[in-house]
Structures are given as structure tokens and as C-alpha cells.
């Protein structure tokens, strides 16, 4: 009888602890609906069209300070974002594939922190294999396969995790080459995670989406193809290419954009930027703005004089940051 009473007492205490613990969970910490590509659009589990809107970090090796819980929760509540993108550079200084083992471990830890912060804030999170100067995604194909095997094994039960497997193929790399790489990485991810949304880069800095539309990847579901633009450089001709791809049934996702020129600097083109936003809204295309940092360039969201890593006010934002925030809050 005494054992039975002790067991009952233990259960009551455990229930009380669980109740108090659950009561401290953040409002935004609920599990997010799984997403899937259906036709050219992104939909939730009920088949309702969803648009992801958010911001991308800059390189995690260079601006790791912005990956923090306060920043993610603040942007969710005050900027009205629902997604954050973690830009893991593969090459360049201290890139994932060019730095030493300690640097690689530090970057993986930062990805893990970013995913956990996103979960707690109620955000979708894109793990971005950010090829740029390496150009050809097959340059570090071996490393990519190992990385995404690890990520897919770790986050296979996370409904908010999205994989972007090659940021901006460039340097004349053909769609056939990108497609061959993508098929291998997708296979590796799907062996561990059957359902996660996967974003695939397209030729010419993720602009030639019509080439992917002519020969899309087959045999796998829940794939979307990335379109990147900078309104200071890319105008109607690129929207026409995007429309051609959409007309052929290719699902597009704008995982990076800005309204400066393509270098990330230069004068902002707000007029062309507005045209792009209308196009994205009309076609229900998700978009991620570049970039959350105080780097001294016009594509940074924060002024270079701003040292804050969360809780930013209007005075802390660049003209581009203010413009993007207005767009996010308009929809």
C-alpha cells in the first residue's frame, strides 16, 4: 500500500512539473506544419497555399552574432517574418570546406543553434549550402553529401527544416551538371528524411530557371527551384524567364533577393523592387531578403554603425532594411 501511495505521489509531482514546464514554453514554440510543393506553389498539410517570407544571414563564419534567440524571436514578432535562412559558405575565408576541422565543428554548432532558435521562435529555417566562388556544386560534392546526410539524420523529425543544396551555381556550369549533383544530394537526404522541402539552385547565379523547367528532376517529390534577383540589376527580362518556368509547371522559391545591384552594393532600385514584389505576390512565391548583418554595403539590413544583435529600431536599419521591413509588414 505504501509503495502504491508513493507511486501516486510521484505521478502527481511529475504531472505538476510537466504542467509548469509547458506553461513556460514560448507562444511561438508550437510545432510548425510540414510544407510541400504542389504544382508551382507551396502548401501546408491542408493543401492551403503558404508563402514563406524572411531574411537570410550573411556568412555564418563572419557574422555569427546574429544567430541568437532574441534576434529570431524579435524578427518573428516585430518584422513578421516566418522564415530564416542560415548561409553556410562552402568556400571563401573559413568556409565549411576550406577552413580547418575546428572551424567546421563551429559552423555545425552554429547551424544547430540556429535550428533550435528557429524552432523556439516558431520559424521555418533554411539550411543553405552556400556555394559562390566555387561556382560548380560538384567541386565539393563529397563534402556536401556528408553534410546533408548528417543534417537529414539529425533533423528528420523537424517539420520546420528546409534544405537548400546549392546557393548560386555560376561560371558557366550547365543545368546537366547541377542536375547530376542535385540528384545525388536529394537521394542522400531522402534516404534519411522522406518529406523535407528541398531547394535546388539553377544556372547563372540561380537565374536561368527556364533551363531547369525544360528538364526538371524526376523521381522525387517536394522539390522547388531557386530564383535569385537583385532589382538594381535584374528587371523585366528575368521576370519573363521566371514566368516561362512557371508556365511549364516549375515551382519557384526566391531564397535570396535584394534591391541593390547584383554585387550587393550600389544604388537601390525601389521602383523595380516594387515590380518584383507584385510579381511574387501574384504568383504566390516565397521570398528571403539578403542579408542580416551590419556589413558596409547597401544589401545589409543593418547600418554599419549598429552594434545591436537584436531589438533593432528603425534608426538601426539601412534604407534597404526599412524597405524590406515595410514589405514584410504589408502582407
Q: Looking at 164, 210, 256, 272, which residue is catalytic?
A: 256
**Contact yes or no for 156/192 (Cβ under 8 A):** yes
Q: Looking at 164, 168, 272, 297, which residue is catalytic?
A: 168
**Sequence-distant (≥ 6) Cβ neighbours of residue 285 within 8 angstroms:** 51, 227, 252, 253, 254, 279
Q: What cell numbers appear for 283 in the block? A: 504568383
> d(Cα 242, Cα 164) in Å, to the nearest integer?
19
Question: Residue 45 catalytic?
Answer: no
Q: What cell numbers appear for 195 in the block? A: 518529406
Question: Residue 143 catalytic?
Answer: no
Instruction: Select from 33, 240, 206 the least CA-distant residue to 130.
Output: 206
Q: Is 20 helix (H, G, I), strand (E, B) or coil?
A: helix
* For the chain, counts of helices (H) and of strands (E): 10, 10
Task: Calculate ∠ Cα 63-65-69, nearest 5°.
Answer: 135
> d(Cα 331, Cα 324) in Å, to the nearest integer?
12
Return the active site residues: 168, 256
Amino acid at each position: 500500500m505504501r509503495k502504491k501511495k508513493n507511486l501516486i505521489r510521484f505521478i502527481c509531482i511529475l504531472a505538476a512539473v510537466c504542467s509548469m514546464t509547458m506553461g513556460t514554453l514560448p507562444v511561438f514554440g508550437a510545432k510548425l506544419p510540414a510544407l510541400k510543393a504542389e504544382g508551382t506553389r507551396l502548401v501546408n498539410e491542408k493543401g492551403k497555399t503558404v508563402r514563406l517570407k524572411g531574411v537570410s544571414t550573411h556568412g555564418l563564419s563572419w557574422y555569427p552574432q546574429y544567430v541568437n534567440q532574441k534576434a529570431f524571436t524579435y524578427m518573428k514578432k516585430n518584422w513578421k517574418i516566418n522564415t530564416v535562412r542560415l548561409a553556410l559558405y562552402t568556400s571563401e575565408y573559413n568556409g565549411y570546406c576550406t577552413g580547418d576541422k575546428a572551424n567546421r565543428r563551429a559552423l555545425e554548432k552554429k547551424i544547430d543553434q540556429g535550428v533550435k532558435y528557429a524552432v523556439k521562435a516558431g520559424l521555418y529555417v533554411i539550411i543553405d549550402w552556400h556555394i559562390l566562388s566555387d561556382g560548380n556544386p560538384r567541386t565539393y560534392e563529397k563534402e556536401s553529401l556528408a553534410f546533408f546526410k548528417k543534417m537529414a539524420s539529425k533533423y528528420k523529425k523537424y517539420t520546420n527544416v528546409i534544405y537548400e543544396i546549392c546557393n548560386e551555381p555560376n561560371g558557366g556550369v550547365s543545368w546537366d551538371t547541377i542536375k547530376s549533383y542535385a540528384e545525388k544530394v536529394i537521394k542522400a537526404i531522402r534516404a534519411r528524411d522522406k518529406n523535407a522541402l528541398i531547394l535546388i539552385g539553377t544556372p547563372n547565379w540561380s537565374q536561368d530557371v527556364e533551363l531547369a523547367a525544360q528538364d526538371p528532376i524526376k523521381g522525387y517529390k517536394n522539390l522547388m527551384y531557386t530564383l535569385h534577383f537583385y532589382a538594381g540589376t535584374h528587371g523585366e527580362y528575368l521576370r519573363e524567364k521566371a514566368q516561362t518556368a512557371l508556365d511549364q509547371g516549375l515551382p519557384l522559391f526566391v531564397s535570396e533577393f535584394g534591391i541593390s545591384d547584383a554585387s550587393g552594393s550600389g544604388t537601390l532600385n525601389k521602383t523595380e523592387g516594387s515590380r518584383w514584389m507584385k510579381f511574387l505576390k501574384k504568383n504566390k512565391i516565397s521570398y528571403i531578403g539578403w542579408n542580416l548583418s551590419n556589413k558596409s554595403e547597401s544589401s545589409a539590413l543593418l547600418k554599419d554603425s549598429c552594434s545591436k544583435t537584436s531589438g533593432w529600431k528603425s534608426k538601426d536599419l539601412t534604407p534597404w532594411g526599412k524597405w524590406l521591413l515595410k514589405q514584410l509588414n504589408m502582407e
